[in-house]
Every structure is written in structure tokens, then in C-alpha cells.
Amino acid sequence: MKYFEDIQVGEIFAIGRHTFTADEIKAFAARFDPQPFHMDEAAAQESHFGALCASGWHTAVTWMRLMVAYRRRTAEEAHARGEPVARVGPALGFRELKWLKPVYVGDTVDYQSEVVAARPSESRPGFGLMSVRASGVNQNGEPVLSFISTAFVERRPEQP
């Protein structure tokens, strides 16, 4: 990640895409969200969803997984150029999470993060707080997920 000072509101990180398979949808649901429409094709067909679909938590944590992988890739690229990499602290939480459409078996979701706010941290002087709008769009161009996440990003250290 770039230093807090170098982050521009409006900047978009295209972090990657993921195709949801029946096996992983069921495996995730069995651990965290064992409702019939995430576990069993026949039960899902009879539900208001009409077919097996991923837990909303599964579509949201997939954003996190891709975001961490994206940060790792960009950090390696920066190291290769001999540039420093800012530390990213924990997130404070998120808000306005919307599951806009079900994610069905075989759907491919393209994820991105858009910087919507950046402000210095009052409690952690070495860090700023970056808010991004996380979103996912399926292969038909339909938004399936949106939320705003706020996390600490390291500020550029003062020159000695």
C-alpha cells in the first residue's frame, strides 16, 4: 500500500475476480451460515432465491481475501522498485453493507475498492484512516455487493 499522503480520494483499486463453485458455497455455509438455500440445491430451488446461492458473508470475505492479495502484489512490486511500503493497520469496521443480488453457482464476481475518504487519525499519529467503497459486480454487470470499510494506513515517516 502507498503511504496515506499519496492516496487520492476517487482512486480505484481493481483487486480481482472470483468464480463461486457449488462445493465452496456449501463448504463455507456448513461452517458459518448453514441455511438450506446455501447448503442444498433442492431446498434452494424451493426457497425465495430459486437456486443455490452463496452466503452474503462468503461474498464479503472474498473481497477481503482479494484485497490482501492485491496489497501483497503491489508491495512486492514496490520492493522490486526499491520503494518503501506503508503498513496497513486493522480496520475499525464497516458500514452500509448491501447484498444487492444473490451470487449463484458459477457466477464470477469482479471486485474493486474505491477510496471515498481519507483523514488523519487522532488516536494514532503515525497513521491515517482510509475509507473505501468495496464493491462486487457479477458477469452480467449487475452489482451484487457494496460496503464502506475504514482502516488505518501508515503516514509517510518524517525525513530524519
Partner 1 sequence: MSTKLYWEDFQPGAVAVYGPRLVTREEIVAFAAEFDPQPMHLDETAASATMLGGLAASGWHTCCLLMRMLTDGFVLNSSSMGAPGVEEVRWLKPLRPGTRIRVRSTVLEMRASKSRPEMGLVKMQHEVLDEADAVLTTLTSTAMMGRRQPGAAP
Report the residue number, 10 or 39, with the smaller CB distance to partner 1: 39
Separation between Cα atoms, residue 120 and residue 9, nearest integer Å: 13
Cβ 129 to partner 1, closest distance in Å?
12
Diameter of the chain by CA atoms?
66
In the complex, which residues of this chain contact partner 1 (CB under 8 A)? 31-35, 48, 55-57, 60-62, 64-65, 68, 87-99, 124, 147, 152
- Structure letter (DSSP) for residue 104: B
Separation between Cα atoms, residue 131 and residue 91, nearest integer Å: 9
Report the residue number, 22 or 61, with the smaller CB distance to partner 1: 61
Separation between Cα atoms, residue 60 and residue 146, nearest integer Å: 9
Report the residue number, 72 or 159, with the smaller CB distance to partner 1: 72
Cβ 143 to partner 1, closest distance in Å?
12
Report the residue number, 64 or 115, with the smaller CB distance to partner 1: 64
Separation between Cα atoms, residue 88 and residue 64, nearest integer Å: 13
Cβ 28 to partner 1, closest distance in Å?
9
94 within 8 A of 149, measured Cβ to Cβ: yes
Cβ 76 to partner 1, closest distance in Å?
14
